């Protein structure tokens, strides 16, 4: 979806992401080469970024550049700004809320010519077709095609365009009405959810209801047991206010069609439901044992505990069958899942590579096709649903060896060790140096990853010597952390 941005917008966004990852000054020639542009163009881009001054600060010196986000801002602040100011995305939102406009009317409402609308339609359709089975129609102007894909796209679009506290449908249906409806359904199911999941279900609900009102239907089968929940909700929840707001009659069929993605037979709500269905459904049985095999193999190879195996299997299984309808599986500009996966790969490459191959085979086996975007989402789900996975992997990494030396006395060295050990106890093995001959040998042999002393050691051949003069300060701790990261990278 980034192709809907202009060439300059794309370059600016990529530059921000690179500088954010660098977190330091970067030679401007290196940055220009990475962005495949000239230094002159890059400097012009930086000069034109005043509109982002509330989000970030870019410092440009003669031959290097650095970017810093302001407190409580980040890449998502930039992507939201771009989506809200980009013509193509404005056009997609306008068509969602008003499907009755003909080409001339749409051009007039967007303050452009009809030829501009035609050009944008071709561009938008070309980009959307990369991930969705959809096309753009005129007279009236609308997104047409696979209804499941259209709803999945707009759930992603509104989730990424608006902040977690915004409700862009207030003029049609109040957020309180949707809160009440969704919470009543969840209460009937009897599961615990967080605000993020509630937001996701609300978006699925409101987009589904508005599409239903415009006579677009999913026509998917709903599991009998889950239809009973919908039936109970329709009987117990007062739908009058919602019907008045939407000017439609809402029945059990309306609700089941709206929330159909959650009501399919292959998506259990509880572990008990999952186990029961695994004894009845060949598809769920096969999925369960493939995931069990994957988890057990990784657990055994890397000696990792699995405190929540059943919850994890159900979560990963449901993620596959919910597919691209799940929040943040797809993306408009901010691919959160890819960034997560890349960070996990850099931290634990061996575990990641094994898991990647297992997960790829699982998706192809059950889903019967390759899907890179879904694969990233599945890896994210797998690694976040496995309780304490990152802690367990971290605990197995080799600790950095540290020689701590104080010219004051042994008590000062002991004090420094206790303070540093408190901050980095899971990452360091600290030895206090008491023999001058051993200390000299350590400096020349690199037998320790770090040497921390309370005095400068000049002309030493060791690559990492850190001077902590008195009590370890915050700056000292940051220096130790930076050196630990370098050791870990090596």
Task: Count CA atoms within 13 Å of residue 201 on its CB side.
Answer: 20
pLDDT at 67: 94
Find all residues with CB under 8 Å of 454, minimum gap 6, and list them: 405, 406, 407, 408, 412, 416, 467, 468, 469, 470
Which of 76, 56, 80, 81 lies closest to 68, judged by CA?
Answer: 56
**Cβ distance 413 to 405 under 8 Å?**
yes
Domain boundaries along the sequence of the chain = 2-73, 86-145, 175-262, 271-394, 398-489
**Cβ distance 191 to 198 under 8 Å?**
no
Angular region, 190: left φ>0, alpha ψ -120 to 50, beta rest = left
For residue 207 the two structure tokens come to: 């987009």
Model's pTM, two decimal places? 0.85
Q: Please provide the CATH number assigned to the domain covering 2-73.
A: 1.10.10.10
Q: What is the separation of C-alpha 191 from the centre of its chain, rounded to a whole number of angstroms?
A: 24
**Cβ distance 402 to 451 under 8 Å?**
yes
pLDDT tens digit at each of 490 positions of the chain = 899 999 999 999 999 999 998 888 999 999 999 999 999 999 999 999 989 999 999 999 889 999 999 999 999 999 999 999 999 999 999 999 999 999 999 999 999 999 999 999 999 999 999 889 999 999 999 999 999 999 999 999 999 999 999 999 999 999 999 999 999 999 988 888 889 999 999 999 999 999 999 999 987 767 777 888 899 988 889 999 999 999 999 999 999 999 988 888 889 988 888 988 888 899 999 999 999 999 999 999 999 999 999 999 999 999 999 887 887 888 999 998 999 999 999 889 999 999 999 999 999 999 887 888 899 999 999 999 999 999 999 888 888 999 999 999 999 999 999 999 998 877 889 999 999 988 888 888 878 999 999 998 887 778 788 999 888 998 999 998 888 888 877 6
pLDDT at 226: 84
Q: Please provide the CATH number assigned to the domain covering 86-145.
A: 1.10.10.10
Q: Are strands 400-405 and 428-432 parallel, antiparallel or unpaired?
A: parallel
Let me know if the fold of 86-145 is the same as that of 398-489.
no
**Cβ distance 156 to 330 under 8 Å?**
yes
CATH entry, 398-489, from 1.10.10.10, 3.40.50.2300, 3.40.50.300, 3.30.1360.80: 3.40.50.2300
């Amino acid at each position: 979806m980034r192709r809907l941005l202009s060439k300059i917008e794309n370059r600016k966004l990529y530059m921000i992401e690179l500088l954010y990852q660098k977190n330091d000054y970067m030679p401007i020639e290196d940055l220009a080469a990475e962005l495949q542009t000239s230094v002159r163009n890059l400097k012009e881009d930086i000069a034109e970024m005043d509109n982002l001054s509330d989000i970030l600060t870019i410092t440009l010196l003669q031959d290097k550049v650095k970017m810093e986000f302001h407190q409580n801002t980040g890449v998502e602040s930039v992507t939201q700004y771009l989506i809200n100011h980009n013509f193509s995305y404005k056009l997609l939102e306008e068509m969602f809320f008003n499907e009755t406009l003909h080409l001339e009317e749409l051009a007039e409402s967007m303050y452009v010519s009809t030829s501009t609308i035609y050009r944008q339609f071709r561009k938008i359709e070309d980009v959307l077709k990369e991930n969705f089975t959809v096309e753009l129609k005129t007279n009236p102007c609308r997104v047409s095609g696979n209804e499941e894909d259209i709803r999945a796209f707009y759930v992603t679009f509104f989730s990424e365009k608006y902040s977690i506290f915004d409700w862009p449908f207030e003029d049609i249906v109040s957020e309180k009405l949707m809160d009440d409806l969704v919470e009543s359904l969840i209460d009937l199911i009897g599961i615990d959810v967080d605000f993020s999941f509630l937001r996701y279900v609300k978006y699925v609900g409101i987009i589904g209801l508005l599409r239903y009102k415009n006579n677009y239907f999913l026509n998917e089968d709903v599991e009998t047991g889950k239809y009973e929940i919908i039936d109970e909700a329709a009987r117990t929840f007062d739908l009058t206010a919602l019907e008045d707001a939407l000017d439609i009659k809402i029945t059990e069929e309306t609700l089941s069609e709206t929330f159909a993605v959650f009501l399919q037979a292959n998506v259990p709500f509880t572990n008990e439901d999952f186990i029961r269905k695994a004894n009845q459904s060949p598809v769920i049985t096969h999925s369960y044992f493939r995931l069990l095999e994957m988890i057990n193999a990784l657990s055994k190879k890397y000696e990792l505990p699995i405190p929540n195996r059943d919850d994890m299997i159900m979560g990963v299984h449901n993620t596959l069958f919910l597919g691209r309808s799940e929040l943040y599986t797809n993306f408009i500009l901010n691919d959160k899942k890819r960034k997560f996966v890349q960070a996990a790969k850099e931290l634990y490459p061996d575990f990641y590579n094994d898991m990647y191959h297992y997960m790829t085979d699982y998706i192809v086996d059950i889903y019967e096709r390759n899907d890179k975007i879904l694969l990233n989402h599945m890896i994210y789900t797998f690694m976040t649903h496995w309780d304490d996975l990152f802690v367990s992997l971290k605990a197995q990494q080799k600790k950095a060896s540290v020689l701590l030396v104080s010219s004051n006395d042994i008590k000062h060295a002991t004090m420094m060790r206790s303070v540093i050990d408190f901050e980095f106890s899971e990452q360091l093995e600290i030895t206090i140096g008491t023999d001058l001959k051993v200390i000299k040998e350590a400096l020349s042999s690199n037998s320790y990853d770090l040497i921390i002393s309370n005095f400068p050691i000049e002309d030493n051949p060791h690559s990492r010597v850190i001077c902590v003069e008195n009590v370890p300060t915050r700056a000292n701790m940051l220096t130790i952390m930076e050196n630990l990261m370098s050791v870990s990278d090596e």
